[in-house]
Structure 1
Amino acid sequence: MSRIDFPKIYNPAAQTTEELIENFVVRTALFQEIFDDIRNSPMQFPGQHYIIQGTRGQGKTTLLLRIAYEINKDVELRQRIIPVIFNEEQYNISRLYKLWETIAEYLQEDGEITGLYDKMQKYADDADYEQRCFRLLETSLKKHKKKLVLFIDNIDEMLTKFSKKEHHRLREVFMESAELRIVGASSVSLEFHYDYGQPFYQFFKIPTLRGLTTADTKTLLLKLGERYKRERVKEIVQNQPGRVEALRRITGGVIRTIIILFDIFVDDSNGSAFLDLEKVLDNVTPLYKHRMDKLSPQQQEIVDF
């Protein structure tokens, strides 16, 4: 019997490509929708940009990786599109020009387009450095007949660091250039998307990931049972639908939480939803006690209230 690999739960990129694809059994409709959009677009004109929104643990990072991996698998598509997967926490991108530099570095490391970053650095002291960087990037992509799809997790954190002037400039790039598309993800509501006075007002297509349905919860549990060799899962899913629904409601249908509680769910031989919940509370109490202990007295009073 295998145990849950917790590091990979919190860092999907730690899985091999094969593992992630094999275990990707929910969010499949949205995956197919976005991938088909990318595959069917010749990218002759500026395209639709996406930001997938959902609370932490809903599968945003996994979905981004799944789309990127599918592009890499498609030999014909890969000839014209380069998927660029940004690190989940890209702290260094605090200015727009750093975005273009980071892309150039990725293309260099991947062997797709070499020497681009060094060309950019020749203009590092120029007032129009950002514009020069993008022109060099765009020219190189056209020369090599390549398009980019940028997969940027926590894109809200990056965009928040940019100035309003840089937002206007980035919007201009998105509106005028057909060389790149964005598929981002955010765990917070994007205020700039709903503010009429902001450059990115209603600009992105924003699919929202909500808690899993009952059917998807069953699908996920069966896959977990197969992956971790827990034969009892089939019996529980088939004969104890109340337990499955109780787990879904307790977790809010959040994928990561369901996976974390999977062992407790399967090991409870009595099959009681209340016992499941009690075990959950017993397991998380030390975690939240530790967090409470770190709060100031005033903050503790607020939480306790």
Structure 2
Amino acid sequence: MTEQLLLHGIAVYNPGILSKEELKRYFVARQPLLKKLLDELKREQPGKTPQHRLIVGTRGMGKTTLLHRFALAVAEDAILSAHWLPLTFPEEQYNIARLSDLWVNCLDALGDSLEASGNSDLLDELDACVDELPSEEDERAKTALQALMDFADRLGRRLLLLIDSLDIVLERLKKSHWEIREVLGHEPRLMLVGASARVLEVTYEYESAFYDFFKIHELKGLGEDEMRDVLCRLAEVDNNTAITRMIEQQPARLRALHTLTGGNPRTAVWLYGVLAQGIEGDVRSDLERLLDQSTPLYKARFEELPAQSQKVVDAMAIHWDPLTARQLAERTRLPVNTVSTQVVRLAEQGVVEKVPLRPGKKNGFQIAERFFNIWYLMRASRRVRRRLIWLVQFLKVFYSQDELKVRAHHHLHNGERGGSDDRIRRAEYAFSLASAVDDPIISSALERSALQTMRGDSKLKKELAALLRFDDPDGKLKALADSLDFMQELKDRVIAARTQWPSGIEADAFASALKGSLTLTPEEKRQVIEALPDWENRQI
């Protein structure tokens, strides 16, 4: 269940395919808003124009799931279902180009509802009505709307239009805004509850048709308590007591997960799948798969931003750590005032967040959802070691230091395997763990393991050279690599020497003892080798 629903993202992207019981079981995070919407719907007066509503939240905040859960709750409430018929629509209504398309889609949604309830006779009438609609646009729109109202009257119920991605719908129907407003503003049989990934300009521009028209509900990131509820419910459904125990006993871990997701419910569900794999899971492969699955979401979110906002977000994401407005201005070569305006707007949209900088009293800005930042780093960084920053940052945030040490020991004691591609991934993972773990002894062992893995494969030596050149400013890794090269050449020379070894001593054993000597310096070891027969007197 976890693998299917969480790691592969089926239910995460398409809540409409869940059964009623699954939808109720997985719907945890937005219970207070669901209750509020239901209570407000019960207060709507018959025969009076209802208050239309708009749910606003960035992608992944749960808008689509909320609409589906709202529809189910209305249908299962005896009082509400007697007066209201909820109609759901595809998340993106790509077929909308004219006003008539909107009303025809409403008829189609009504048809879906009739089919689900088994009302085949009325469904046949509706389908015939749609087939007979006139082709001329004005007449078609007028006839489709009237048919919608006639069917509502025959059913004796008002229609609750639950339209996802309302921003896209209204963008496609710019020329019809005032006509839509006229209908919704005077028709008591229709109530619109829309969802949008952004605040609609038409709702706050004074001369726009929908100025001050909707009651807006903003979906912000989950709080820590809500995040706990989501993870505990997933663990309960998955029967994973280890995760339940972790959540209860490690509050710092929960805070780290909250930081990583920025309170985004969809991201929380994704990362639960990685969490559920445990120590045996391939965290890098799981993470790469999740980052790949999140690409449509994050790419769309980024491309929705204006050009200047994209430039600011790019500079912020590449740096990872918080930056002041002045530092961002230097990196983007934009005026400080422009950057300040951009970060305030981005903070209002939930894309970035203000954080205190230490030491001092200044504030900095960083990407609010750290997983989005990790996705951006993965796509933007190309150099060998640089491109692993996304994995390093994920490991630091997602795992405690104790867990990182366990993973490090597991990696070090899990022997070499596979071809060059497997070995380069193993080496890169070791380097990433070495950067994330705070124990210098374990970190050094991981780096040594990674270097030995890459040195042992001629195909990987170019990768190793690039790694040392681009991401070793203090020369530590290069010195270690040089030391390993020295030791390998030392061993090769000992074994190749034509020496009559004393009884009971073999070349391999002598080379290993010489390599492992703690009392001899590298120079003294070199002198020992030079004293062996057949040694060409050359600098090692």
Q: Give the letter aligned to residue 3 of structure 2.
A: R
Provide the C-alpha distance between the structure 2 equivalents of 1:259 and 1:75, rounded to a whole number of angstroms.
32
Provide the C-alpha distance between the structure 2 equivalents of 1:231 and 1:76, rounded to a whole number of angstroms.
39
Match of 1:69 among 60, 67, 72: 72
Matched residue, 1:260: 270
Matched residue, 2:241: 231
The answer as to 2:60 corresponding to 1:57 is yes
Provide the C-alpha distance between the structure 2 equivalents of 1:285 and 1:220, rounded to a whole number of angstroms.
18
Whether the 8 Å contact between 2:87 and 2:113 is mirrored in structure 1 is no
Deviations 1:167-198 (A, max 9, x none): 10111111110001111111122111121121
TM-score (norm. length: structure 1): 0.84
Match of 2:24 among 1, 13, 21: 21
Matched residue, 1:197: 207
- SS class of match (1:26): coil
Q: Give the letter aligned to residue 137 of structure 1.
A: L
Asked which structure has the greater RCO (Cα within 8 Å, sep 6+), the reply is 1
- SS class of match (2:218): coil
From the CA coordinates, give the structure whose radius of gyration is larger.
2
Q: Give the letter aligned to residue 131 of structure 1.
A: K
Deviations 1:254-304 (A, max 9, x none): 0111111113335556xxxxxxxx96996379749x99xxxxxxxxxx757
The answer as to 2:219 corresponding to 1:209 is yes
Closer/same/farther in 2, CA of residues 29 and 126 from structure 1, 3 Å limit: closer
Structural RMSD (CA)? 2.9
Structure 1 stretches lacking a partner, 5+ long: 270-277, 292-301
Match of 2:42 among 25, 39, 44: 39
1:4 positional shift: 5.1
The answer as to 2:92 corresponding to 1:89 is yes
The answer as to 2:250 corresponding to 1:245 is no
Whether the 8 Å contact between 1:50 and 1:182 is mirrored in structure 2 is yes
Closer/same/farther in 2, CA of residues 264 and 122 from structure 1, 3 Å limit: closer
Q: How many pairs are equivalent?
A: 287
1:58 positional shift: 0.8
Provide the C-alpha distance between the structure 2 equivalents of 1:155 and 1:280, rounded to a whole number of angstroms.
36
Provide the C-alpha distance between the structure 2 equivalents of 1:280 and 1:213, rounded to a whole number of angstroms.
29
Provide the C-alpha distance between the structure 2 equivalents of 1:252 and 1:75, rounded to a whole number of angstroms.
37
- SS class of match (2:51): coil
The answer as to 2:186 corresponding to 1:176 is yes
Provide the C-alpha distance between the structure 2 equivalents of 1:235 and 1:99, rounded to a whole number of angstroms.
49
Identity of aligned residues (%): 31
Q: Give the letter aligned to residue 82 of structure 2.
A: Q
Provide the C-alpha distance between the structure 1 equivalents of 2:133 and 2:230, rounded to a whole number of angstroms.
51
Closer/same/farther in 2, CA of residues 85 and 231 from structure 1, 3 Å limit: same
Q: Give the letter aligned to residue 75 of structure 1.
A: A
- SS class of match (2:216): coil
Matched residue, 2:160: 149
1:132 positional shift: 3.1
Say which is worse superposed, 49-58 or 258-267, in terms of deviation.
258-267
Whether the 8 Å contact between 2:2 and 2:273 is mirrored in structure 1 is no
1:78 positional shift: 2.0
Whether the 8 Å contact between 1:261 and 1:280 is mirrored in structure 2 is no
Provide the C-alpha distance between the structure 2 equivalents of 1:18 and 1:76, rounded to a whole number of angstroms.
21
Map 1:123-138 to 2 at 5 A.
123-125=134-136, 127-138=138-149
1:226 positional shift: 0.6
Closer/same/farther in 2, CA of residues 210 and 127 from structure 1, 3 Å limit: closer
The structure that is helix-richer by fraction is 2
Deviations 1:222-258 (A, max 9, x none): 0010111211122112210000010001110101111
Whether the 8 Å contact between 2:133 and 2:140 is mirrored in structure 1 is no
- SS class of match (1:261): helix
- SS class of match (2:217): coil
